[in-house]
Structure 1
């Protein structure tokens, strides 16, 4: 009888181990299918400060660089910032891919059942998801254009009132008229592989 109980426990442990490795394989497959998205997050992290630096540099150029030299300085600044992005993006993308199993992988394994992971892999590999990912930038761009168009009449009066109040508070002459945001470009989302 004792041998039968031990054999049953060993069999249960073997099944549990086999299920665990299958779950790990499914998590690895999800991570592989999401690699482009993970790399895109890393790219966004690199690009965010680069865009801020570009904006700061543009403001500084207007204030400190003579008009005759602005174009040359702008090209130099642009080249330096592009070089930073080109060098830093692969480094951070590589780190993100290495870090993903320890963060995404652990959470996927904890929060999803094996069946849910199978369904997730099937969805990520499905032609419908691939088509959706391909269409997403265009969908987002159309949405952003409509939203910005609706933002102008909603926000313009509020921005003008705020501008008048700030001018009064700071006791300064009014600058060129401010208005609601111009057509913004949505952040490109990487398509899933």
Structure 2
């Protein structure tokens, strides 16, 4: 009986070892995407291409905007007679960067769209849902609404600036003054940094 239990235990151990060494079955391949669905996804990507290009331009311009902001702060410490010329040179450098970098990023974004956005659309939307999305994107009302985007932003922006300038302007000035005051060295440190006048030599002692 004892021998039989040992044999059973050994058999189970060997079976467990063999099972552990057997590679796990590969995940089932994704169901093939029909040509009809691929065509629908391609149409969505085509309709969304302006948005993809705008996103790519924004990503490209973001570091340039940050650099301009830092440069503007640094220019405050430049003598006034040099400040304007330096600002023009920096703006020219930024334009050159944008002219060279933007087409590269935009082109790459359009190339990546099918394998990224397209893959998500194929996975998560049905053909009927894709047709519905296309119908919305192609509707005259949606196109007209999208075309109004810049006008709507400009209209509210101009009105907002005009109506808040009186309240916000003084706050901006106060903030600039507060920041400038914090950046100035303390009075004691400034006085300590000034060279002290040389001590006058002591007058010669009078002879008796």
Q: TM-score, normalised by structure 1?
A: 0.66
Q: Is the 8 A contact 2:40 2:127 kept in 1?
A: yes
Larger radius of gyration, structure 1 or 2?
2
**Paired residue for 1:130?**
143
Q: CA deviation at 1:31?
A: 0.6
**Cα distance change, pair 107–76 in 1 and its aligned pair in 2 (3 A):** same
Q: CA deviation at 1:160?
A: 10
Unaligned runs of 5+ in 2: 1-30, 187-208
* C-alpha RMSD over aligned residues: 3.4
**Paired residue for 2:192?**
none
Q: Is the 8 A contact 2:52 2:110 kept in 1?
A: yes
Q: Is the 8 A contact 2:45 2:118 kept in 1?
A: yes
Q: CA deviation at 1:80?
A: 0.3
Selected match of 2:70 from 38, 46, 56 = 56
Mapping 1:135-150, distance limit 5 Å: 135-145=148-158
Q: Is the 8 A contact 2:49 2:110 kept in 1?
A: yes
Unaligned runs of 5+ in 1: 1-16, 174-193
Mapping 1:1-193, distance limit 5 Å: 20-64=34-78, 66-145=79-158
**Cα distance change, pair 156–34 in 1 and its aligned pair in 2 (3 A):** same
Q: CA deviation at 1:162?
A: 9.0
Task: Tell me: higher relative CO, structure 1 or 2? Use CA pairs within 8 A at least 6 residues apart.
Answer: 1
Q: TM-score, normalised by structure 2?
A: 0.61
Where do 4+ consecutive residues of structure 1 move more than 2 Å?
140-163
**Cα distance change, pair 146–109 in 1 and its aligned pair in 2 (3 A):** farther
**Cα distance change, pair 83–112 in 1 and its aligned pair in 2 (3 A):** same
Q: Is the 8 A contact 2:60 2:101 kept in 1?
A: yes
Paired residues, number: 156
- In structure 1, C-alpha distance between the alignment counterparts of 2:85 and 2:167, rounded to whole Å: 39
